[in-house]
Structure 1
Amino acid sequence: MGVIESAGALGSRISNLTVIVALALVTYQLSIYVYNIFFHPLRKFPGPLLSAASCLPLCRKNLSGDQQFWITELHAKYGEVVRYSPNELSFSSGDAWKDIYGHRKAGQPILKKNPKFYLAPVANEHERVFNIIDSDNVNHTRIRRIFSNAFSDRALKLQEQLFLKYVDKLVSNLLRDTKADPNAKFNMVNQYNFTTFDVMSDLCFSEPLNLLENTEYHSWVAAMFANFRYGIYLFTIRYYQVVEKSLLALIPRLNPGMAEKQKLHHQFTQARVDKRMEIKEKRPDIWGLVLEKDEELGMTRKEMYANAQLFMIAGTETTATLLSGLTYYLLAHPDKMKLLADEIRGAFPSTDDISIEKLQSLKYLHACIEEGLRMYPPVSNGLPRVVPEGGVMVDDTFVPPGASISLTQYSCYRNPKNFKDPYDFVPERWLADNTEYATDKKHALQPFSYGPRNCLGKNMAYHEMRLILAKLLYNFDIKLCEESSQWIDQKIYIMWDKPELKCQLVPIRSHRTS
């Protein structure tokens, strides 16, 4: 009996202890919620009460692919500054660009990037290798100086024939396939990706991936696409630092192929860089132009690997994304498509006369690309910065130190204070002689970001987008297939989660090459 009573007493004590621990955890968590709502430095900023208390609403929207749409709805309800998680603010005012991302006055520090968003977890922080995006301000300046020569106007002119080689290959493939089957349906998302990846691979490594040749994705490209969804898990886990390591350990078990895809991505990039660096003759690709400027390079081989991986994502998927979205909007607005096609076809005697320099003078083409970037920005989310000591003023609003702030691009471009009829596709708003949209804040459109850390490849992207779209519309009439009529209804997992954009193409036989 004594043993039984002793065991019972022990069980009772364990049970009581469990209750006490559970109550302590609940009390601790409730105290955090109370602090976030009533005492946090951001307590006076508007937003949902649950989002002020906890990051859980944000994480749920993040994992569901609805974060940007949700934040845009919050801006519509609460105004141009929204607190969407305990320590995060989103701005939608076009004037906030310069305050968050722009150059600072003498003595004022540039706002640092939020490492929770930019830096993926690594086993040893001392082994971290930075690329031009996730580096600190000092290393960013160094790396940007190294690559500036490769993205200069001079370099773009040297690379024009490389661009034309693959754009003409795209057109040739489509002409061949429409001749073989006039009723063929093409997934234009794939066609644009095949082209941009072959271009960037040649620019980075002096050899293409041959996606246009094989008309299918290379395993390396497929691995890159898989990393976008993986990135969403990483960003979400970061909000729960107490259990971050445990949650990270679960991901490989839940998705066994993910680690293998990441490994493939790294190995393939490294092998391509090593192979390119063995080539000694001068070539006008990225590494050739880098070496031409700086024989010492000023960059380790690991940094070259890291930046090559970045270029193969930032210089490909984003361009193909814009072209996909713009193609859809043009097809959904046939009157706009006709105006653009007429401008392009009337500007050139033959497809061979289309060039980077001449395309820059086509005003409606430029207007369509700008409107495409506004309606369907490849980088739709905000790029978070951490407010330094002393706080900052953002669009006449004081933000206390330690807060994470960003301008959410999708929300900014849907803000009626920035753009009239913000949900309408209106390329005409970008024409200088248009008075109906004269009140639009044109400076609010910054799809390549703003300030000292804006996209280095901005001009290259514009040239590539103009070439691909102009060559396509010069040679084909395009029709949207019924199954893609609702194509724009998408989720966002870092990048837009694009379904197939099925189109039929009819060759314009009256246009011949010279």
Structure 2
Amino acid sequence: MSNLFKLSYVDCALDPDHLATGLRIGLTIACFSQYCTCVIVHRIYIHPLSRYPGPELAKISSLYSIYHAWRGDRHLDLLRLHGKYGSVVRYGPNSLSFNSPHAVSAIYTHDKNIAKTSFYNFFDLNKTTKHTQSIIDKHSHGRRRRIISHALSEKVLRGMEVRIICHVQKLCNALGHGSSPVSNVWSDTKDMSLWTLYYAIDTITDLCFGYCASTIDSPINRDIAKLIETSSQKALICGLLPVIKILGLDQILYPLPSSSGGKSFIIHNQKILAQRLKSEINAADKDILSYLINAKQDQDNGSLFLSSELWAENLSVSPGSETISVALSATLFYIVHNDDSHQVLNAEVRTTFNATNQIRLGQRLESCEYLRACINEAMRLAPPVPGILPREVECDGVYIDGFPVPKGTEVGVSAYAIHHNASYYPEPFLYNPTRWIRSKDSQSDGIDLAHFAFCPFSAGTRGCLGKSLAYAELSLALARIVFVYDMRVEPDQFRIQSPAEERDFGRHKTMEYKLRDAYIGMKCGPNIQFKSRMIDDHDSGDQQLH
């Protein structure tokens, strides 16, 4: 029986068909191995970017960057790489990361020969409808930007001030609920990563659509926050690895919230847009949508916004709520964890204003230099968009920070990495608001350099159009919170880190506000308690409890 088996096996092995199949498999493996070897050798030693330092794996495959994007620590890895390799790092086969203010200027400000990459296509509402932040064509972007800039001008912002203050008041009421200065009772612990996001969502939706999501007052629409986070993560990963979108895997990896709140909110706002397009604009409508609907025909091509474009523009502002939330949460984190800064800020705000109704946009608020410095320093340490905003070099002969960059190369600057560069920010991990304040003893060169390297809102013609609006929302909210409440970290709060987290670069610092890079920064905490202050309202003569 065994001899018969041996003969059958030998006959099978010597069969021409089996030999041909085995030969084909062997040749396929050999060819694939040879191809991989050639690709590796080319990318490491022959590629136009071979002169630039970086991890060997990053030079070979974009999977290196995708892995860190999936982990949410790409900004931390870029900081580590720049610390190891210098001001320019090759972090992908065809990608360079720079770490200097001159590179920020060259890439984002003076971008004549540099354009957005196809990465931004994954931020579109759909295949046919683009918004200003995702448009790659410079001419189309310029047309949109000119129109939207009018809707976000200082004059328009003044008209929206009362609405912003209304949401600030709602936030303050929610934060201090149950506290009492008389009986020395503190509020329940509030996770400020959530409450600041509710404030930002309510404000943004009100100013954009003329309809408030009411997430501060009600939990019905609060899954909008999850919608923003999931959409951002999906766009980042699909932008880096488009095959995920092509195969439809994005719906499996990043499913949208199953609850109906976020979906019903979107449907409701679509109905509002349809109604507003059919009716005449009321003079009382002082939201961004009214300015877009009233936008004049562009002189270049005479085209108006399509209804789908109006919807895309308004909806694209929603991620801006996460930007404001990160900045405000980070500022509160560093204030409650730094007693000296907390005391200086309290003194400035509480001596500048005598009543809550005095906290408005204008000279008094602008005179609060330390308040603005606290916000800037928090955004330096925890930039709302911590990773790279990619751009593509359109022609040969381009130099960035003195380095020649060939056509087709993807370039960018990580805000987190440059904000922690000791060349521009001495003691980069120290929260020090005074580095932004000019004084007789300070060196103006250092402050100018700090501002030069500061890019939490990106820079240039592609920078954030809502920068003034963001500072208004942040300043009004922070000033009122500090004026109305005493704050403290939740007693006995201690966050236990896993052994793996303690080993991760940049995650081991207990006094740093940690972000997860999902294009926009994702965060948790701080957990803060509030206690109302007894305030003498000099304007009205009434003593108020807030």
Normalization by structure 2: what TM-score? 0.85
User: Which secondary structure state, in structure 2, belongs to the residue aligned with residue 510 of structure 1?
Assistant: strand
Cα separation, 2, equivalents of 1:9 and 1:412: 64
Deviations 1:45-77 (A, max 9, x none): 111222212222222111111111011111011
What is the one-letter code of the residue matched to 2:237? Y
Where do 1:110-129 residues align within 5 Å? Answer: 110-115=113-118, 117-120=119-122, 127-129=127-129
Residues 75 and 82, structure 1, Cα contact 8 Å, conserved in 2 = yes
The answer (yes or no) to whether the contact 1:269–1:308 under 8 Å persists in 2 is no
**1:260-314 CA distance string (max 9 Å, x none):** 9997786455334224434531211102223445279811111111111111112
1:298 aligns with 2:301: no
- Aligned 8 A contact 2:387 2:415 in 1: yes
**Number of aligned positions between the proteins:** 501
Distance in 2 between the 1:392 and 1:460 partners?
Answer: 34
Q: Matches of 2:303 and 2:177 in 1, distance apart?
A: 44
Distance in 2 (CA, whole Å) between partners of 1:449 and 1:122 is 19
Residue matched to 1:347: 352
Q: How does 1:190-269 map to 2 (within 5 A)?
A: 190-214=194-218, 217-238=221-242, 248-254=247-253, 257=256, 267=267, 269=269
2:314 alignment partner in structure 1 = 308
Structure 2 partner of 1:404: 410
Residues 367-389 of structure 1: CA distance to partner in whole angstroms, max 9, x if unpaired? 11111111111011121111121
Q: Report the residue type matching 1:491 in the other structure.
A: R
What amino acid is aligned across from residue 270 of structure 2 in structure 1?
Answer: Q
Q: For 1:473 and 1:278, how far apart are their aligned partners in 2?
A: 44
Q: CA separation in 2, counterparts of 1:121 and 1:100?
A: 21
Relative to structure 1, the CA distance from residue 259 to residue 114 in structure 2 (aligned partners, 3 Å threshold; closer, same or farther) is farther
* Partners of 1:399 and 1:67 in 2: CA distance: 22
**Cα 1:186/1:8, change in 2 over 3 Å:** same
Given the alignment, which residue of 21, 24, 32 partners 1:25? 32
Match of 1:471 among 480, 493, 500: 480
Deviations 1:411-464 (A, max 9, x none): 111111121111111100111115268535121102111111211111111111
CA distance in 2: counterparts of 1:123 and 1:448, whole angstroms: 22
Q: Distance in 2 between matches of 1:60 and 1:274?
A: 42
State the Cα distance separating 1:26 from its structure 2 match: 1.9
Query: Which stretch of structure 1 is more off in the superposition, 58-67 or 321-330?
Result: 58-67
1:379 and 2:404 matched: no
Matched residue type, 2:114: L
1:479 alignment partner, SS class: strand
Q: Which amino acid aligns with 1:11?
A: H
The equivalent of 1:100 in structure 2 is 107
Residue 454 in structure 1 maps to residue 453 in structure 2: no
Q: 1:197 to 1:254 in 2, by over 3 A?
A: closer
- Deviation per CA, 1:459-488: give whole Å up to 9, x if none: 111111000000000001111124366472
Q: Match of 1:185?
A: 189
- Residue equivalent to 1:498: 523
1:222 to partner: Cα distance = 2.7
Aligned to 2:432: 426
- Superposed, which structure 2 residues align to 1:83-162 within 5 Å? 83-103=90-110, 109-115=112-118, 117-120=119-122, 127-135=127-135, 136-162=137-163
Cα separation, partners in 2 of 1:480 and 1:462, compared to 1, 3 Å: same
Give the CA deviation at 1:237: 1.8
What CA distance in whole angstroms lies between the structure 1 residues aligned with 2:123 and 2:166? 39
Cα 1:171/1:256, change in 2 over 3 Å: closer
1:483 to 471, 488, 493: 493
SS in 2 for 1:32: helix
Look up the match of 1:327: 332
Q: Does the Cα contact within 8 Å between 2:323 and 2:521 map onto a contact in 1? A: no
Aligned 8 A contact 1:63 1:236 in 2: no
Q: Which sections of structure 2, spanning at least 5 residues, go unmatched?
A: 1-6, 496-509, 541-546
Letter in 2 for 1:495: I
- CA–CA distance in structure 1, aligned partners of residues 314 and 330 of structure 2: 26
Q: Check conservation: 2:332, 2:526, Cα contact below 8 A.
A: no
CA contact (8 A) 1:92 1:407 kept: yes
Q: Which residue of 1 aligns with 2:53?
A: 46
| CA deviation after TM superposition for structure 1 residue 178, in Å | 2.4
Distance 1:27 1:385, change over 3 A: same
Write the letter of the residue equivalent to 2:109: G
Normalised by the length of structure 1, the TM-score is: 0.90
Shift of 1:209: 0.6
The 8 Å contact of residues 120 and 234 in structure 1, kept in 2 or not, is answered as yes
SS in 2 for 1:435: coil
Any idea what SS the aligned residue of 1:496 has? strand
Supply the distance in 2 between the matched residues of 1:132 and 1:121 (Cα, whole angstroms): 10
Judging by fraction of residues, say which structure has more helix: 1
Conserved in 2, the CA contact under 8 Å of 1:291 and 1:297? no
The answer on whether the counterparts of 1:42 and 1:87 sit within 8 Å (CA) in structure 2 is yes
Tell me how far 1:390 sits from its aligned partner: 2.0
Give the superposition deviation at 1:176. 3.1
Matching residue of 1:359 = 365
2:461 aligns to what SS in structure 1? helix
Among all aligned residue pairs of Structure 1 and Structure 2, give the percentage whose two residues are the same amino acid. Answer: 26
Distance 1:488 1:122, change over 3 A: closer
CA drift of 1:349 comes to 1.0
Q: What are structure 1's unaligned runs of at least 5 residues?
A: none
Does structure 1 residue 509 correspond to structure 2 residue 534? yes
Amino acid at match of 1:88: S
Provide the secondary structure at the position in 1 that maps to 2:483: helix
* Residue aligned with 2:493, SS: helix
Taking only aligned residues, the RMSD between alpha carbons, in angstroms, comes to 2.8
**Does residue 63 in structure 1 map to residue 70 in structure 2?**
yes
| Residues 273 and 308 in structure 1, CA contact (< 8 A), matched pair in contact too | no
- Taking the aligned partners of 1:464 and 1:123, their CA distance within structure 2 comes to 26
**Separation in structure 2 between the aligned mates of residue 391 and residue 347 of structure 1, nearest angstrom:** 53
Query: CA shift at 1:365, angstroms?
Result: 0.9
CA distance in 1, matches of 2:50, 2:259: 43
Alignment partner of 1:383: what SS? coil
Aligned to 1:79: 86
For the Cα contact (< 8 Å) 1:223–1:264, is it kept in 2?
no
C-alpha distance in structure 2 between counterparts of 1:380 and 1:330, whole Å: 21
CA contact 1:475–1:511 (8 Å) conserved in 2: no
Distance across 1 between alignment mates of 2:211 and 2:269: 13
SS of the residue 2:176 aligns to: helix
Counterpart of 1:274? Answer: 274
